[in-house]
Amino acid sequence: MATAKPALAVWKFASCDGCQLSVLSLTDELLALADVVDVAYFLEASSAVHEGPYDLSLVEGSVTTPDDVERIHEVRRASRTLVTIGACATAGGIQALRNFADIDGFIDAVYAHPAYVSTLATSTPISEHVEVDFELRGCPVDRHQLLEVVSALLRGRRPSISPASVCMECKRSGAVCVMVAHGTPCLGPITHAGCGALCPAHLRGCYGCFGPAETAATGALAAWWQEILGVEHTDLLRALRTYNAGASEFASKGEQHVASGA
Amino acid sequence: MGTPADEARVMGVDGLDALIRALGERGYEVLGPRVRDGAIVYDGIDGAADLPVGWGDEQAPGHYRLSPRDDDACFGYAVGPHSWKRYLLPPRSKVFEAERGAKVFALRSAEMPRKRFAFVGVRPCELAAINIQDHVFLRDTARDVLYASRREDIALVAVQCTEPSGTCFCASMGTGPAATDGFDVALTELLDGHHRFVASAGSELGRELLAAVGAAEAEQADVDRATTVVDEAAQRMGRSLDTEGLAEALYANLEHPRWSEIAERCLGCGNCTLVCPTCFCTAVIDTNDVTGTGALRERVWDSCFTIGFSYIHGGSIRPSLRARYRQWLTHKLATWRDQFGTDGCVGCGRCITWCPVGIDITVEAAALHEPAPAAGAGR
């Protein structure tokens, strides 16, 4: 092929870097990827930076500062295709817990000199600020899914990523349902597939790392947890408010439960 | 079949063990019930000791627990979360691989299984389910080669049902608790006095196997007892479903308010369809590798409860949970008849037990059997 290789960029916003590490942990496939793309901007991997524009940008992290807001627009302008990776970028991440609290209270409690802190009152997903071409869920993202997204987009194909429930993967794997057979509260029925039902396969309830499934009947599941499994109000709220606390299908139910009060 | 039921035989647990081993020696991959992670699932077995000896189960809507029995029954439980569909229609199977070379484009078709399967502990409702899937996949007009390659030359050791669960209703569906054909060997486990199995052969293979393990001729008292315990099981079904006029009622009630009420409780998670032994829907997924030279087509279990399942260009034709639940239930109990000439439900109760929020097909079908309440009459 005479044409230049597509330029790949990986960007970081408010995040733990775990999703970028998922790119690096592709190991063998990473070498194959490096053969077919020009890794033009990926500070976690290399200090060599090529100027944009970029054919494919992977964006990790949420928007939490005024500077982030400006920077994500620059990234969008420099990117032909923009994919957000991970719960921070797609739902605001664990740091979206601030959305339910008083940010000034946090700043005063934590920092000796609050005047130096410039932050927003909320942590928001990238899609609230710029147009996003594809959102890849997970905390962290699954590296096989990440490779599928990149492989698909490099060939102009829609990524084969199912938005159905974790239960679909759990049943395909042959795992025994922890909710039905053990009475363990599990978010699997309302959580987006992608992890391969990792926790249920190890007899733990799903923690909802991949955020809401395409149909997230949070209210119906919450009712069963409380009425049949005897889950306390505070534990239900805690389960819904983790890495995807900001995702509307989890957050709105959480809000209702705060309003209904324990 | 045409041939009368074979002379009944009887054997002990050692005979059952020999039967399992004889299947293995004949080159079968022997699969049967085992206890794993708090449930009875299907997996490889080497002998009778691998069976769930002394275990029963307790089942209710959205509820399953193993319970120890006070005897050494090998088959003293009802069906668990797995069905034989896992082996005949695997959750994920390769359809073909493609590779682009410099000048050639190579296609490699799916690998066929190396070993024939022997299923041990197949319940009558499960035999009925296999028959239904056979009808779906082995019709002359639409023969599925992946299914056929796995189904061929299979050995079926059925076990008549003596312990129906709280969610069972095979007696209503006419699929159990006794199987009369469609097996190589059928066993009835008797626990009174000496622990034994009354066995009958349903095929030449079955006759050979029973002869090979040295099963003795059964006495009339044992044959009668075997009939009695299965008849009693029919009286202990946890649930029932009245199918009389049901299909017509469902067609008349497509706008019944009950559908919307169910949608308030349904999670849309798809569990009911994946545990169902007759649900056969799959998605075909094409992917390519990162270099763009290799491609893969796979078939994976899908569900009419996913939005993507009814995606036709531009969008899904069943975007609401109400529409998806209605599609599923009416297919099971009405349109399946039009399509294949049987019900799509065998009364195994898995969809009730393994629904994470306990939605009960027998309760919903009964409600939908009745006309919708008149407008303004309230709920």
Question: Same structural domain for residues B74 and B174?
Answer: yes
- Those residues with Cβ within 8 angstroms of residue A67's Cβ, 6 or more apart along the chain or in another chain: A118
Rounded distance, CA B142 to CA A87, Å?
44
Q: Check B356 against A162: CB less than 8 A apart.
A: no
Q: CA of A55: how far to CAs of A19, A23, B346, in Å?
A: 20, 17, 53
Residue B100 lies in a domain: no
Q: Looking at residue B135, what is its pLDDT?
A: 95
Residue B124: both structure tokens together: 């009558």
Question: Same structural domain for residues B225 and B252?
Answer: no
Residues in chain A within 8 Å Cβ distance of B271: 167, 171, 177, 189
Position B110 confidence tier, pLDDT thresholds 50, 70, 90? confident
Rounded distance, CA B270 to CA A51, Å?
46
Q: Looking at residue B37, what is its pLDDT?
A: 98
The SS3 call for residue A111 is coil
Rounded distance, CA B157 to CA B153, Å?
13
pTM for the model: 0.95
Rounded distance, CA A126 to CA A85, Å?
10
Residue that the structure tokens 């079968």 belong to = B28
Residue B43 lies in a domain: yes
Q: Check B356 against A173: CB less than 8 A apart.
A: no
Residue B21: both structure tokens together: 């081993």
Q: Check A186 against B264: CB less than 8 A apart.
A: no
Q: Looking at residue A262, what is its pLDDT?
A: 42
Question: Which residues lie across from B68 on neighbouring strands?
Answer: B55
Question: Same structural domain for residues B259 and B169?
Answer: no
- Those residues with Cβ within 8 angstroms of residue B34's Cβ, 6 or more apart along the chain or in another chain: B40, B41, B42, B43, B45, B50, B51, B52
Residue B241 lies in a domain: no
Closest-CA residue of chain A to B285: A160
- Those residues with Cβ within 8 angstroms of residue A110's Cβ, 6 or more apart along the chain or in another chain: none
CB A58 within 8 A of CB A12: no
Among A45, A54, A47, A60, CA closest to A9: A54
Rounded distance, CA B243 to CA B324, Å?
21
Give the count of beta carbons closer than 10 Å to the beta carbon of residue A26: 18
**At A181, which helix (H) or strand (E)?**
helix A178-182
- H helix runs in chain B, sequence order: 13-25, 85-88, 124-137, 145-151, 170-173, 204-212, 220-235, 246-252, 257-265, 271-275, 321-330, 336-340, 350-353, 361-369
For residue range A210-262, list pLDDT tens digits in order: 999 999 999 999 999 999 999 999 999 999 999 999 998 888 766 666 666 54
Tell me which residues of chain A have a pLDDT lower than 50.
1-2, 262
Confidence check: pLDDT of B120 > 70: yes
Closest-CA residue of chain A to B91: A172
Question: Which residues lie across from B249 on neighbouring strands?
Answer: none
- Phi/psi of residue B74, each to 5°? -85, -30
Confidence check: pLDDT of B378 > 50: no
Rounded distance, CA A79 to CA A56, Å?
6
Residues in chain A within 8 Å Cβ distance of B308: 162-164, 214
In angstroms, the separation between the Cα of residue B77 and the nearest Cα of chain A is 14
The SS3 call for residue A95 is helix
**At B225, which helix (H) or strand (E)?**
helix B220-235
Question: Treating both helix axes as pointing N-terminal to C-terminal, what angle do A218-227 and A233-240 enclose, rounded to 10 degrees?
Answer: 150
CB A51 within 8 A of CB A3: no
Question: Same structural domain for residues B201 and B350?
Answer: no
Question: Same structural domain for residues B216 and B272?
Answer: no
A101 CB within 8 Å of a chain B CB:
no
For residue range B284-301, list pLDDT tens digits in order: 999 999 999 999 999 999
Number of domains composing chain B: 2
Q: CA of B242: how far to CAs of B36, B103, B178, B245, B363, in Å?
A: 34, 63, 19, 8, 10
Q: CA of B43: how far to CAs of B10, B50, B87, in Å?
A: 26, 10, 10
- Those residues with Cβ within 8 angstroms of residue B19's Cβ, 6 or more apart along the chain or in another chain: B11, B120, B157, B185, B209, B210, B213
Question: Same structural domain for residues B217 and B345?
Answer: no
**Structure ipTM:** 0.94
Q: Check B287 against A168: CB less than 8 A apart.
A: no
Residues in chain A within 8 Å Cβ distance of B321: 215, 217
Q: Check B271 against A189: CB less than 8 A apart.
A: yes
**Which residue range forms the structural domain that includes residue B120?**
9-93+110-235
Fold for the domain defined by A7-154: Rossmann fold (3.40.50)
Q: Which amino acid is at B308?
A: G
Residues in chain B within 8 Å Cβ distance of A144: none
Question: Treating both helix axes as pointing N-terminal to C-terminal, what angle do A143-154 and A28-36 enclose, rounded to 10 degrees?
Answer: 20
CA dihedral (A68, A74, A80, A85) in degrees, to 10, reads: -10
Q: Which amino acid is at A142?
A: D
- Those residues with Cβ within 8 angstroms of residue B228's Cβ, 6 or more apart along the chain or in another chain: none
In angstroms, the separation between the Cα of residue B39 and the nearest Cα of chain A is 7
Domain range summary for chain A, segments of one domain joined by +: 7-154, 166-260
Q: Looking at residue B7, what is its pLDDT?
A: 84
Closest partner residue to A220 (CB to CB) among B265, B270, B305 is B265
CB A208 within 8 A of CB A242: yes
Confidence check: pLDDT of B379 > 90: no
Q: Looking at residue B223, what is its pLDDT?
A: 96
For residue range A182-200, list pLDDT tens digits in order: 999 999 999 999 999 999 9
Question: Same structural domain for residues B230 and B254?
Answer: no
Question: Same structural domain for residues B36 and B142?
Answer: yes
Q: Check A221 against B287: CB less than 8 A apart.
A: no
Count CB pairs under 8 A between chains A and B: 140
In angstroms, the separation between the Cα of residue B289 and the nearest Cα of chain A is 6
Least confident of B3-12, B38-47, B119-128, B362-371: B3-12
Question: Same structural domain for residues B202 and B270?
Answer: no
Q: Which amino acid is at A196?
A: G
- Stretch 332-361 of chain B: residues touching chain A, C-beta under 8 Å: 353-358
- Phi/psi of residue A36, each to 5°? -105, -10
Rounded distance, CA B365 to CA B202, Å?
35
Q: Which amino acid is at A221?
A: L
A147 CB within 8 Å of a chain B CB:
yes
Rounded distance, CA A57 to CA A74, Å?
12
The SS3 call for residue B125 is helix
Residue B1 lies in a domain: no
Domain endpoint, select from B235, B257, B287: B235
Question: Same structural domain for residues B185 and B263?
Answer: no
Confidence check: pLDDT of B175 > 50: yes
Q: Check A147 against B356: CB less than 8 A apart.
A: no
Question: Same structural domain for residues B213 and B340?
Answer: no
Q: Looking at residue B6, what is its pLDDT?
A: 59
Question: Same structural domain for residues B198 and B342?
Answer: no
For residue range B177-234, list pLDDT tens digits in order: 999 999 999 999 999 989 999 999 999 999 999 999 999 999 999 999 999 999 999 9
Q: Looking at residue A259, what is its pLDDT?
A: 61
**At B65, which helix (H) or strand (E)?**
strand B63-68
Closest partner residue to B82 (CB to CB) among A174, A182, A221 is A174
Residue B274: both structure tokens together: 């994946």
